[in-house]
């Protein structure tokens, strides 16, 4: 999906694209605010696993019995920390490169070629808009205030919000209506709020 994405096949009668964009394409180590704690901790975990692995190998080479649990700890810590620090940002970058956004006079559209699906969110007078401004802004929309802007994401019987867990593990929310890392956040937020006002006025 290079250049402008062709939204025409997905538009309804009378619907027109008012804005379209995509997430910025650069590599990002810190995907969300929580990563400023998660990534350094994972880095320390990686170093601990690496040292454990080296101690295990050194013990084997000299014929000594390594400490019990040293090898499993090294494997688990290196696997988890490598995923968080290295593979997760790469996976996220691939996803952002395959993602396109559009705002029409009726809906918010999110297309992802990697996953092969298109998600739609109808603009209403009561929709919730959450804006995080910065060099690259993130805008979340939902039918009502939700953690991580998920439309209907209750905690399960164990008290776990699966969408929150997904955001921590993968760096993004698969089922969310979220325009991530866009450069023109102020203009997009202004457009969404204007559409919300129009929808509210049109509601009897």
Residue 131 in 3-state DSSP? strand
Confidence at 101, pLDDT banded by 50, 70, 90 = very high
Evaluate if pTM is beyond 0.85.
no
pLDDT (tens digit per residue) in 158-171: 444 555 555 555 55
pLDDT (tens digit per residue) in 121-175: 999 998 888 888 888 888 888 876 655 444 344 444 444 455 555 555 555 554 4
CA distance 73 to 92: 27
CA distance 48 to 43: 9
> Do 23 and 93 meet the contact criterion of CB atoms below 8 Å apart?
no
Q: In this structure, what DSSP letter does residue 147 have? A: G
């Amino acid at each position: 999906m290079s250049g402008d994405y062709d939204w025409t096949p997905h538009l309804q009668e009378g619907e027109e694209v008012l804005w379209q964009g995509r997430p910025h394409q650069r590599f990002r180590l810190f995907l969300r605010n929580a990563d400023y704690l998660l990534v350094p901790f994972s880095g320390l975990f990686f170093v601990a696993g690496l040292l454990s692995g080296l101690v295990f190998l050194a013990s084997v080479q000299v014929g000594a019995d390594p400490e019990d649990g040293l090898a499993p700890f090294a494997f688990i810590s290196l696997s988890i920390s490598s995923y968080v620090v290295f593979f997760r940002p790469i996976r996220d970058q691939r996803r952002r490169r395959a993602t396109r956004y559009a705002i029409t006079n009726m809906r918010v559209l999110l297309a992802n070629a990697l996953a092969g699906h298109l998600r739609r969110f109808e603009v209403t007078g009561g929709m919730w808009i959450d804006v995080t401004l910065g060099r690259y802004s993130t805008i979340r929309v939902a039918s009502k205030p939700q953690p991580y802007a998920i439309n209907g994401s209750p905690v399960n019987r164990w008290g776990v919000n699966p969408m929150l867990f997904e955001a921590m593990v993968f760096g993004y929310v698969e089922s969310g209506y979220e325009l991530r890392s866009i450069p023109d956040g102020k203009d997009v937020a202004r457009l969404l709020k204007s559409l919300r006002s129009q929808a509210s006025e049109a509601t009897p």
